[in-house]
Chain A
Amino acid sequence: MVHFIAEEMAAVACLRAKVNMEAVGEILGRFLVIYSLTQSFFDNFGSLSSHSAIMGNPRIKAHGKKELTSFGSGVKHVDDPKGTFAQLSELHCGKLHVDPENFKLLGNMILIVLAIHFSKEFIPQMQAAWEKLTTGVANALAPRKYH
C-alpha cells in the first residue's frame, strides 16, 4: 500500500478538481498511439488506422473517460486500493489477460497529459505525488498473486 502525506493528497485533489473531460479523453488515445500493440484489446472499437483516427475515435474517448472515472475511485480510497480495484483487476488480468505492465504505462500517460494541460501546476513535487498515485493504482490492478 502506498502512503501519502497530507501535502501530497492536497496536491492530487487540487489538480484532479481542474481536470476536464477533454484531457481525460486524450489519455487512452495517446496510450494506443504510443503502445500500438495494445490496440489489439480494442479491435472492435472502430477505426484505429492512424494517429488521428485513434485520437478522434469516439468509443476510445468514451472508454478513456470510463477508465479515468474508475481511477478517480482510487484517489478517493487510497487506504484500500486492492479492495477498490478487486473487480477491475479480475476483469483486466483474469479475463482479458492484460499484461500488468500496461497499467504502469497508462499511469505514465496520465502524467504526460497532466503535464501538457497543467504546465504551471505540474512542478516536480506535484509529479511525485501523482507518481505515487498511479503506481498504487497499477499495483492494485495487478493480480494478487504478484504481491
Chain B
Amino acid sequence: MALAAADRATVRALWKKMGSNVGVYATEALERMFLGFPSTTTYFLHLDLSLGSTQVKAHGQKVADALTLAVEHLEDLPRALSALRHRHVRELRVDPASFQLLGHCLLVTLARHFPGDFSPTLHASLVAPTPGA
C-alpha cells in the first residue's frame, strides 16, 4: 500500500532526526527481537548473539541501510526492496512473520528514543511501511 504524501514527509522527518544513529537503533531492534522472540535467533545461529555483540551490530547496520533505502523510496517500496525480499524469502527462507516481529521491535525502539515525537500520527505513518518492508 503506497503511503500518503503527509505520511512520507513524517517518516522522512524522523529519519533525518535519527541522523547517523540509524544503525544503533536497528541493532537495538534486533537485540529486542532476539530476546523477546527467541525463535527468530534460528536464522542467526552462525553469529554471536550476546548483548553488545559486534556481529549483531554489523547486521544491525545492514538492516539500517535497508531501512534507509526504504525511506528514500517510499513511493515505490516493492520495487526498491525486491532484491532484498528475494534474498530473505527465497534464499534464506525467512518466515515472513519474522519481519513483522522486527518491525514491532523497531517501533518499540523508536518510541523509547523519541517519546516526544512518537505521536499517534507518526506511529500510524510508521506502521504502514514496516509490514511492507
- Mark A residues whose CB is within 8 Å of B: 29-30, 33-34, 51, 54-55, 108, 111-113, 115-117, 119, 122, 124-125, 127-128, 131
Contact = CB atoms under 8 A, between A and B. Distances in A.
Nearest to B119: A51
Nearest to A35: B127
Interface string B115-129: 100101101100100
Interface residues of B, number: 22
9 closest Cβ pairs, A-B complex: A115-B111, A115-B112, A131-B36, A128-B35, A33-B120, A116-B115, A128-B36, A124-B32, A124-B35
A125 B124 CA distance: 26
Interface of B is mostly: helix
B96 to A, nearest CB: 15
Interface string B30-46: 01100111000000000
Contacts of B107: 108, 112
Interface of A is mostly: helix
A113 B118 CA distance: 9
Given A127-B32, A131-B36, A51 B111 contact: no
Contacts of A115: 108-109, 111-112, 115
A108 B111 CA distance: 12
29 contacts: A30-B123, A33-B120, A33-B121, A33-B123, A34-B123, A34-B127, A51-B120, A51-B121, A54-B120, A55-B120, A112-B108, A112-B123, A115-B112, A115-B115, A116-B115, A119-B115, A122-B112, A124-B28, A124-B31, A124-B32, A124-B36, A124-B51, A127-B32, A127-B36, A127-B105, A128-B32, A128-B36, A131-B36, A131-B37
A122 B36 contact: no
Contacts of B32: 124, 127-128
B59 interface: no
A127 B118 CA distance: 18
Interface of B: 28, 31-32, 35-37, 51, 104-105, 107-109, 111-113, 115, 118, 120-121, 123-124, 127
Given A30-B123, A34-B124, A125 B112 contact: no
